[in-house]
Structure 1
Amino acid sequence: MLPEFDNTEIAFRYRNDAELRRARFLFSSMGSPFLTKIGMALTQFAIDWRLPVKGIIKSTIFNQFCGGETMQEAADTANVLGKYGVGVILDYGVEGKESEEEFDKAVPEFIKAIKYAASQKTIPFISLKVTGFARFALLEKIHAEGELSTAEREEWKRVQKRVDDICTEASLYNIMVLVDAEETWIQEPVNILTDAMMEKFNRKRVVIFNTFQMYCHGTLSYLRDALAKAEKKGYLLGAKLVRGAYMEKERARALEMDYPSPIQPDKASTDRDYNAAVLFCLENLSKLAVFIGTHNERSCMEAVKYMNAHHLQAGDKRVWFSQLFGMSDNISFNLANAGYNVAKYLPYGPVKDVLPYLMRRAQENTSVKGQTGRELSLINKEMTRRRLA
Structure 2
Amino acid sequence: MPLFDDTQTAFESKSDKDLKKAHFLFKMIANPFLTKVGTVMFKLPFATEIPLVKPMIRRTIYKQFVGGETTAECLKVAKELSKYGVGSIMDYSVEGQEHEEEFDSVKNEILCLIDIANKNPVEFPFVVFKPTGFGRIDLFEKVGKKLPMTEEEKLSWKKICDRFEEVCKKGFEADVTMMVDAEESWMQDSADNLVDEMMQKYNKERCVVCNTLQMYRHDRLDYLKNIYQKAEAENYFIGFKVVRGAYMEKERARAEVENYPSPIQPDKAATDRDYDAALKFIVEHNHRISLFAGTHNEHSSELLTKLMKDNGIENGYHKIWFGQLFGMSDNISFKLGNLGYNIAKYLPYGPIKEVMPYLIRRAQENTSVAGQTGRELSLIEKEIKRRKQNA
Using the size of structure 2 for normalisation, the TM-score is: 0.96
Letter in 2 for 1:143: G
- CA contact 1:91–1:128 (8 Å) conserved in 2: yes
Structure 1 partner of 2:340: 339
Whether 1:92 and 2:72 are equivalent positions in the alignment is no
Counterpart of 1:336 in structure 2: which amino acid?
A: G
- Report SS of the residue matched to 1:244: coil
The one-character-per-residue Cα deviations of 1:18-49 (angstroms, maximum 9, x if unpaired) are 22122112211222222211111112226458
Aligned partner of residue 289 in structure 1, secondary structure: strand
Q: Equivalent residue of 2:266, what SS?
A: coil
The residue correspondences of 1:240-251 to structure 2 (distance < 5 A) are 240-251=241-252
- Counterpart of 2:32 in structure 1 is 33
1:29–1:36 contact (8 Å) kept in structure 2: yes
Deviations, residues 256-292 of structure 1 (Å, cap 9, x unaligned): 2222221111111100000000000000000110111
Cα separation, 2, equivalents of 1:44 and 1:102: 21
- 8 Å contact from structure 1 (residues 198, 235) kept in 2: yes
Q: CA–CA distance in 1 between the matches of 2:69 and 2:233?
A: 43
- SS of equivalent to 1:354: helix
Moved over 6 A (4+): none
> Structure 1's 189 and 333: CA in aligned 2 closer, same or farther, altered over 3 A?
same
Correspondence 1:27-106 to 2 at 5 A: 27-45=26-44, 47=46, 50-52=49-51, 53-106=53-106
The one-letter code matched in structure 1 to 2:320 is: V
Q: What's the CA shift for 1:160?
A: 0.9
Deviations 1:191-233 (A, max 9, x none): 0111111111111111111000000111111111111122222
Moved more, 40-49 or 130-139: 40-49
Q: Which residue of 2 aligns with 1:255?
A: 256
- Tell me the alpha carbon deviations over residues 122-145 of structure 1, each in whole angstroms, 9 at most, x when there is no partner: 111111101111012212222332
Kindly indicate whether the alpha-carbon contact (under 8 Å) linking 1:88 and 1:123 is maintained by their aligned counterparts in 2.
yes
Residue equivalent to 1:114: 114
C-alpha RMSD of matched pairs (Å): 1.4
- Unmatched segments (≥5 aa) in structure 1: none
Question: Residue 164 of structure 1: CA displacement?
Answer: 1.1
What is the deviation of 1:309? 2.0
The 5-angstrom pairing of residues 110-259 of structure 1 reads 110-120=110-120, 121-259=122-260
Count of residue correspondences? 388
Q: Is the 8 A contact 1:191 1:210 kept in 2?
A: yes
**AA aligned opposite 2:103:** F
Name the amino acid aligned to 1:232.
Answer: A
Whole-Å Cα distance in 2 between the matches of residues 133 and 256 of structure 1? 28
The answer for unaligned runs of 5 or more in structure 2 is: none
Against the structure 1 CA distance between its residues 49 and 8, is the aligned structure 2 distance closer, same or farther, given a 3 Å change threshold? closer
> Match of 2:340, as an amino acid?
G
> Aligned pair in 2 of structure 1 residues 386, 36: CA closer, same or farther (>3 Å)?
same
Shift of 1:311: 1.6
Provide the C-alpha distance between the structure 1 equivalents of 2:4 and 2:238, rounded to a whole number of angstroms: 30
AA at the equivalent of 1:78? A
Once the two structures are TM-superposed, the CA of residue 310 in structure 1 deviates from its matched residue by 2.1
Which amino acid in the other structure matches residue 344 of structure 1? K
Whole-angstrom CA distance in 2 between matches of 1:346 and 1:47? 26
Residues 288, 49 of structure 1: alpha-carbon distance in 2 compared, 3 angstrom cutoff: closer
Measure, in 1, the Cα distance between the counterparts of 2:31 and 2:146.
42
Task: Report the AA paired with residue 28 of structure 1.
Answer: K
Asked whether the 8 Å contact 2:211–2:240 carries over to 1, the reply is: yes
TM-score where L is the length of structure 1:
0.97
CA distance in 2 between partners of 1:140 and 1:84 (Å): 42
- Post-superposition CA distance 1:239-271 (Å, at most 9, x none): 110000111111121222222221111111100
- Provide Cα deviations, 1:291-323, integer angstroms capped at 9, x if missing partner: 111001111111101211222110000100000
Which amino acid in 2 is paired with 1:258?
N
Q: Partner of 1:209: helix, strand, or coil? A: strand
Look up the equivalent residue of 1:22 and give its one-letter code: K
Instruction: Output the amino acid matched with 1:64.
Output: Q
Bigger Cα displacement from structure 2, 253-262 vs 64-73? 253-262
